[in-house]
Every structure is written in C-alpha cells, then in structure tokens.
Chain A
Amino acid sequence: GDSVTQMEGPVTLSEEAFLTINCTYTATGYPSLFWYVQYPGEGLQLLLKATKADDKGSNKGFEATYRKETTSFHLEKGSVQVSDSAVYFCALKNTGFQKLVFGTGTRLLVSP
C-alpha cells in the first residue's frame, strides 16, 4: 500500500539556520503530496501542497518540490525562526481516494 517515510526527529537548529526535512513516498499512480504543520496544543494545518511532478509548493518561506524520479518531497526553509518550532507531517493522497496517508512527523526545535 501507499506509505510515507520521514526523517526521525527532533531536528534542532539555531535561528536563521537552513532547514531540510526529508520525505519519501511509495505509491501507485500519481498522488498529490502535502506538508502539514502542528503547533503545540493544536491540530494540523496545511502548510503547502503539490499535485504533480516538478510542482513546487511554497508558503511562509517553506518550499517543497515534487520529485517523481526520486519519489521525494523534501521540505526546506532558508532561515528558520523560533516560531517555526512545531511538528511537520508529510502526507500523500492518491487519485480517486480521500484517504490521506501520513508520515510519523518530524519535530523541529529552533533556539534563539
């Protein structure tokens, strides 16, 4: 079945450092890919998405490019802030299905 693999956390960075959180997927067909973010005490919020190969999703300084050849959707940000501390989830949704398949989440901790 479809699956998503994320790097283990926590990822600990200093403010203004460069961020990469790796995500790879296994799926049949042509899934849409998503990054969700969960701040402490809250539910998940959609951060960005990409619906086809080579699409780049971006939001709030975060970017991720849908790479079909490497089945990856890595999340990047050039300069993180303390307020970016949260848990980040990579997810996919296959065509014709409503089910979102999530990775285990990666906790990001940014210190001043």
Chain B
Amino acid sequence: ETGVTQTPRHLVMGMTNKKSLKCEQHLGHNAMYWYKQSAKKPLELMFVYNFKEQTENNSVPSRFSPECPNSSHLFLHLHTLQPEDSALYLCASSQEAEPLHFGNGTRLTVT
C-alpha cells in the first residue's frame, strides 16, 4: 500500500474515445502531480496542484485535461489522444518540501 492509489491499472483506448484516470492519496498531502513515463525518456512532469489550485502546466497538449476537486483526489481526463501518448501515467503527492510519494501508475495504450 503506497498511500497513493491509481485506477485503472491498465487502459486501452481508441483515438476518438474519452476516458479518465483517477488518483487518490490517503497521506494528507497538499500537493498532487501527474507525470508521464515513456520508454527511454526522463519522467515528464505534466501538472502540479497545490491546495486544489493548478500551479504548473508543463506545456501539455489540451487533449489532456486535469481536475483536482479536493486535496485528496486528482483526475486526468483524456480525449482524442494519439498513439504517441501511450505511456505509464504516474500520480504523486507531497507535503511542502517533503519527497514525492508515487502511485503504481496507469499503463495507457492508445490504438
């Protein structure tokens, strides 16, 4: 149990589908993050939320839409994705200057 739970673990979607990734943290942290992990590339920070407010959008295409309804939940809404968006999407949380805690990720395949 990592304290950060992501669902689903695996997702296959077509380019015209709309789906959402969910992340929930049980650690009482005030910051939440989405990262993208692709093969042979460094982890890419996508979005950061502090106290439910988005504080960073790392030039992510608009086909990815984050939502943070409260400090414990984070969503990533997906629509009209491309095959190159296939990757492992990792959610993380942290409290102020403390290290990040990661979930186990959602393996996304876009067909």
Contact = CB atoms under 8 A, between A and B. Distances in A.
Interface of A: 4, 32, 34, 36, 41-46, 49, 89, 98-105
Interface of B: 2, 4, 6, 31, 33, 40-43, 45, 48, 50, 55-56, 90, 92, 94, 97, 99-105
B55 A89 contact: no
Contact of A104 (B40, B56, B99): B40
A82 B45 CA distance: 31
Contact of B56 (A4, A49, A99, A101): A99
B104 A42 contact: yes
A89 B43 contact: yes
Main SS of the interface on chain A?
A: strand
B35 to A, nearest CB: 8
Main SS of the interface on chain B?
A: strand
Contact of A43 (B45, B90, B97): B90
B42 A45 contact: no
Given A98-B55, A98-B94, A43 B103 contact: yes
B31 A104 contact: no
Nearest to B104: A43
